[in-house]
Structure 1
Amino acid sequence: MMFVGRVLRNCYKIVRLLGSGGFGDTYLAENLDLPGHPLCVVKHLKPRDPNPDVLQIARRLFASEAQVLYRLGHENNQIPRLFAHFEENGEFYLVQEYVEGNDLSSEVIAGKRWSEQEVTQLLREILEILTLVHKQDIIHRDIKPQNLMRRRQDGKIILIDFGAVKEISTLVNIQGQTSASVAIGTPGYAPNEQAAGYPKLSSDVHALGMLAIFALTGVKPYDLPRDPTNGEVVWRNWANVSERFADILTKMVRYRFSERYQSAAEALSALPAPPKPKPQRTPQSKSQPASQSTLQSTPIPRRQVIQWLGLIGSGVGLAIVGEQLLQGVFGRKDDVVETATPSPSIRSDISSTSSPTPKQLATPPSISLQTAKFETVTVDAQGKINKRSNRQAKYFVEDLGNGVTLEMVQIPGGTFIMGSPPGEKQRDLDEGPQHPVTVPGFFMGKYEVTQAQYQAIMGNNPSKSKGEKRPVEKVTWDDAVEFCKRLKQKTGRTYRLPSEAEWEYAARAGTTTPFYFGETITTDLANYNGTDSYASEPKGQYRQHTTDVGIFRPNAFGLYDMHGLVWEWCQDDWHDTYQDAPTDGSAWLTNDSTKVPKMLRGGSWNTAPRACRSADRLCRSPDDRYYDEFGFRVVCVVA
């Protein structure tokens, strides 16, 4: 039994258990050898048969598969890397890359139909990855939505779970007889020859074709009928696609493998050529309000652990073995998943059946979601932009009357590491200990509540620095709670202040750096006191008052002004550390919550950059207005 806090090889410190199965345990860990102690995944594989001969063969196969994973991950950045593999006391360990993203099971869902263009683009991207895999004579053998992730960093598809890979070769068992491989795959996706234990490159093509048909029709693969006369999938009645594209998909999923495309490269060449990219437009001025920008439509993440399916006799490893010889070396592989998203410090490719799975927010008919696009930027320690990303997201608009509206963006549920790491510059002790928190999905105000919105609901405007599009300030915690109460009465929907965990999760939007912009911040990106600097960036402006909301760049969730402008009230009572803090995203309240200081987050126009960090915390009495620095934004939970 491995315990949290144990350090393997003086390098990998176990943070917590992600899941267990017959094959062993999977853990989230920190790499102590690297700056900032980045997260990784450690899989602990425990042989059940102590027979030395069996262990020797298991050891050889373990090393063989590890080399396959090394080669694949280090030659393709859309395949997670294997960092290390080692053996201790007859037990085996794999250390794997930790990637943030959402698996496609939250995008490809029953009842939802994708367009032909969308499915074509998805096929093209996956086939490009598979082509590189197939060129090395490796079969993935478990293509399905859960094993395909959309990386949060750049939106690219990542192919995970190479525990079922098999290098094409013919192995001979101890008696000198050829052995079939172990049958691994998912019903509905895996073709008949794979189910019989004889996978081909075209088996992956079949599984991917079934995934594409699922996306087009909204019908799960195992629910589609088959022609009893020839075994072919019957799917055309559920999709409206061109004849050419239908023929491509039909060939991908032929019952006889000899009638399919024989590899990913062959299937890729059959797809129509991608459209030529349109000329890029000049980026919008940073000083212009991004009123058309909204949150990226990010499906609810199930953070998927990059699975290594054990060793052979258990049905969980390289299917290149004498099946009878290694029967029982490792226990049967079970899917190891853990909720996340996200997320966002905890990487999005981790998900586990041992944890609750975050649900996609229900969207009742009274809410009409809209989609818009926006650009995010990342800066280096000198404050220079070194990356730009185009994103899109969903939101709904609440009509407050008299032309005043409130935009609420959809925040996906997920798991992240709350607080700042010990090495973060200018951190405070109240920002620790770091701890994982799983946050259910919710909607959050794209902007801090403006003076026009506050006036529409409360009938007054206490702000010192006037402006309809500026955030309301000089509001107490009690004022903010009353605003939410009246907003609920007006709309019929539940509005409230965010919990402190929800606020930090939303502010980070998948980042682990001090700011969602990266290692530092500049006054071109936020409104704060620029007479001080945080890292190596030059000093900037000190505007000495608030500005309109939304004139600076948003984060990856499509939220604006999470750094600076005004401090934002949260639900929580003040606690001087996170010891024993909730891990479910809920507010941390005391027995007599009305008499204790309340939390504020995000910094303001008057604070130094250190106070604008995602992890920085401030507490004040619930009746404290503190000049013109205190405001808020609202959360809506739609049942």
Structure 2
Amino acid sequence: MSQCLNPDCLHINPEGCNFCQKCGSKLRLVERYYAKSILGQGGFGRTFLAVDDFKPSKPPCVIKQFLPQAQGTATLEKAAQLFDQEAQRLELLGKHSQIPELLAYFTADNRQYLIQEFIEGETLEQELDKGAFTENKISSLLKDLLPVLYFVHKHKVIHRDIKPENIIRRASDNKLVLVDFGAAKQVHSTSMSVTGTVIGSAAYCAPEQAMGKPQYGSDLYSLGVTCLYLLTQASPSDLYDPLEAQWVWREHLNGNHVSDKLGEILDRLVETVFKKRYQSVAEVWAHLRRYYGKQTNPTNPQPVIQETVKQTPNTTPPAVPQKFKFDIVTVNSMGREINRETVKQTPNTTPPAVPQKFKFDIVTVNSMGREINRRPGQAECIIEDLGNGLILEMVLIPGGTFTMGVPSGETGSSDVERPQHRVTIKPFLMGKYPVTQEQWRQVASFPKLQRGLSLDPSRFKGLNRPVESVSWYDVMEWCARLSKRIGKPYRLPSEAEWEYAARAGTTSPFHVGDTLTTDLANYDGNYSYSSGPKGAYRRQTNPVGQFQNANAFGLYDIHGNVWEWCADPWREGYGGAPSDGGVWDYGNNNRYENLVEHLVNFLGKTDRRVLRGGSWFNVPGYCRCANRGRFDPGSLKNYNGFRVACAL
């Protein structure tokens, strides 16, 4: 069955229809998603159970259709803004395994839509039909949800609508998933004391939130009320005596035993006086661990919260922060070093960022470009906080040895990609995506070091599009500012690191196989590679991560979209190349293959820098893993961008 999405129709159509039999509307959104049935309806629109028709398994997903009931231009604009903000929050928070992932966000038929991961399971409201929760179930609930709430608050978001209907027990692993961020609020440094719109379910709403001043502790209050409801099966309004100004939930337990230790935690969660309530998730977690820590099941370990969320309990002493030094180098327009600042990194009193697991699809195509395999992948990433709610996701790239370059038989290859040679790469971090315009703007606003940076250099505007029209020198300055702010030596990858990370263990021209299609990458589809098909030519960049496939290391947009600057200067081939994966710099004269090469480099005829990956502007052969590009380091091209790397 196919559900018509026209709000004035909503006709149920037989399977296989492309257009509604009643109103004629298209049944598939962006030729990919079609609705099966209505899941719910609220003030901002409808939610549909849907199917992703692009994937072989036809997995279920959720369509959220923006359809506000409000009237008036200003009110509608505000509602549209809130819907757009929900999409931004879901993209930010959906990386957590217990928050639904945002799959797409777009406009179709003059209506806004977002596509979200479907969580199969029962809500806690539905689960309550089987009987009231016991103390053990409530303590398990807190252990499962507090790390999720910590992640949400860490990214400066208040959920504002925690209740049993918005918590789903996922059928596949029995984990609790926090859903419906439509009411969530992005917190800025100036907004915590400002009165805003009252949003949230009244029965679970904290007093300060009811007055339009939600705080992080407001979510803790709602979580506490949720626990009381699950323990008693009584309406929250019956569990509080307004005449006595106190909670009377113990009177509604009906024989359900609750220990003093859990009662103490619940009482403090639902304190109506904000200052007497728990002020942070970490504070609740500390009490929970004190009372229930020894009961943690070693076969199903719970994360430990100590200013951050850890995926597994650590029985060894915490790592002691160590001082280290690194150099921040600045070069002039000729590529000559003009400044080297040594930065001493002092110990950080907060624990280091902890790797977080994420999942993705790994796609393989045959020589004709047809998808022949799609398998799940998993990797780990470090999330860096750039401020203002922005993050930088850095994927852990494992170390290893690979063959760099290609044999003469690879279509489209040239001698600059030879001779093949073995290179050993140490483990390092690399950006999951090319740096976006929003990330660029944030770091470019940090204090200047040696050169000024434009806050908005890109031709193709879009906060989540890759930044482009930035020179190699601009990128070096950006990396230096990021390094100084975060305290880690962020940099461009070496050319060897880039190719190793791009291949991710493959030896084919592309990490997807022997050819490339415009369903998998953004390049000039007027041209094909080998036996592959022609396709779309978009003539501009795409938002990063738009293609729902990554390589086996978890990196997106390796092929096409924007060329990516590397640290290395250009050389006409790999003769004498180092085997350690480092930058093949001109400073190491002993690495020149002969005197002629040394003289050519000395005369400045190769004062160019390497780029990798191809772009929206290029034919697919330029997007191969081994292909090498070169530009003057001062050039500003609307197809040149970058992604960052960092040593472990």
Answer whether TM exceeds 0.5 for this pair. no
Using CA pairs below 8 Å that are at least 6 residues apart, which structure has the higher relative contact order? Answer: 1
Q: TM-score, normalised by structure 2?
A: 0.42
Q: TM-score, normalised by structure 1?
A: 0.43
